[in-house]
Amino acid sequence: MSALLSNPGFTAGLAVGGGLSILGFHSLHGLIRRTLTLPAHKARLKVVAYHYIRLTLLFGILALILSQRIVDPLGVLTGLSVVVLNLLLATAVDLRKMRLEV
């Protein structure tokens, strides 16, 4: 819908922001699965190191695409936000369903 109603930079920003957000959540899911079997002190170190690396990569990618004006910043922000809001909404719906079943 955005591709028809907006400029290509905004549409590309939506796609990049959404893609980065989904990629971040997907990698976080994998990290959680791998660290659940580790002892607490090792899991903590792995999670902290992972977050520093992930945030460094994310900021690097965002800095590159925004400084080169490849995408519209508002589109990237919207793309990042929509995925997070959808995940929060899905969680709230699931929690409500769980409460109603009890």
Query: How far is it, in rounded angstroms, from Cα 25 to Cα 40?
Result: 22
**pLDDT tens-digit readout, 23-57:** 988 998 899 899 999 999 999 999 999 989 999 99
pTM of the shown model? 0.78
Outline where the chain has alpha helix (H).
2-5, 8-35, 40-67, 73-101
